[in-house]
Amino acid sequence: MDVATYLAAAPEARRPALERLRELCVEELTGFEEGIAYGMPVYVRAGATDGEIAWANQKQYISFYLMRTDIRDAFAARLAPHDMGKACLRFRTPAKVDFDLLRDLLRATARAAPGEVC
């Protein structure tokens, strides 16, 4: 499966938000490779083995996985009002996806030196 196939299988109501999320990842994550891992789109820094960013269409929400602890810590104040697990930022509806925050997280990830992922 590739990301285009993943998107085609997503519910029509969520597809525009997921497509926009993919566009942001492709635009901002220069030097990263897009693929599928654990059944969801993932972005891996060239030469690395672990993904730093991933996203998924879940039954109850759209999830955005930020696997870099240093980036999460740097954005703690902006992430605090959101539904956030250890590495998973959850948006219950497409209308609630904070694309400005996601763009900033992606930019910070792309600019950061390679580091550990959780």
Model confidence over 36-91: pLDDT tens digits?
999 999 999 998 989 999 999 999 999 999 999 999 999 999 999 999 999 999 99
pLDDT value of position 117: 83
- Mean pLDDT across the chain: 95
Burial of 7 (0-12, 13-18, 19+ CB in 10 A): middle
In this model, does residue 116 exceed pLDDT 80?
no
Q: What is the CATH number of domain 3-110?
A: 3.90.1150.200
- Each domain of the chain, given as residue ranges in start order, spans 3-110
Taking the C-alpha atoms of residue 83 and residue 35, their distance in angstroms, rounded to an integer, is 26
Taking the model in full, what pTM does it have? 0.94
